[in-house]
Amino acid sequence: MTVLVVATGNPGKLKEMQAHLAGLDWALALKPDALEIEETGATFAENAYLKASHVAKATGAWAIADDSGLEVDALDGAPGVYSARYGNTDADRIERLLNELGNELNREARFRCVVAIARPDGTIALEAEGVCPGRILHSPRGNGGFGYDPIFYVLAQRLTFAEMSGEQKRVLSHRGRAFQALLPQLKTLSAG
């Protein structure tokens, strides 16, 4: 079984990735705590590549990283790569986003995620992108999830991410879609 180092120190993200990659011949492990990676990319893809490559070179193992965030049309794609840094807490980030949108009628948005896998030498072997379209509500709904989930409404489901079950969100989310696109490539890579 090949070790795939996850470019995060977050055990929750490791667990989520393990669920997406269940049944494959890869053993996931967290990156070393001392290994810090500054996200300096201008796009989700650049940040995912940067994190995967850095961790792979530092550990000498295969590495996987993702970068994701919320893009709001009326805010010219903001908060984008700054989604996690749009405030100090989830509540702050939601409040800032709703204040910036105000009474704007165009509330179209999408969550985007790019997943990258790097070889032990740091070169990118695979990448996949997932997008989940939605709308930003005027006020939060639901108690599940995290981040912008309470204000991100998925029209096809008539629910916010915060109102969905964990399984629904895992399948429908931008991250879920990115992993669905990645799996066939990863099976080929692990078989080769």
Block residue for tokens 């939601």: 94
Task: Give the tokens for residue 117.
Answer: 């896998």
* Residue 108: other Cβ atoms inside 10 A: 14
Tokens 């807490």 appear where?
89
Residue 162 DSSP class: G
The CA dihedral of 131, 133, 139, 141, to the nearest 10 degrees, is -80
The residues carrying an active-site annotation are 67
DSSP readout, 52-111?
A: HHHHHHHHTSEEEEEEEEEEEGGGTT-BGGGGGGSSSSHHHHHHHHHHHHTT-S--EEEE
CB 54 within 8 A of CB 45: no
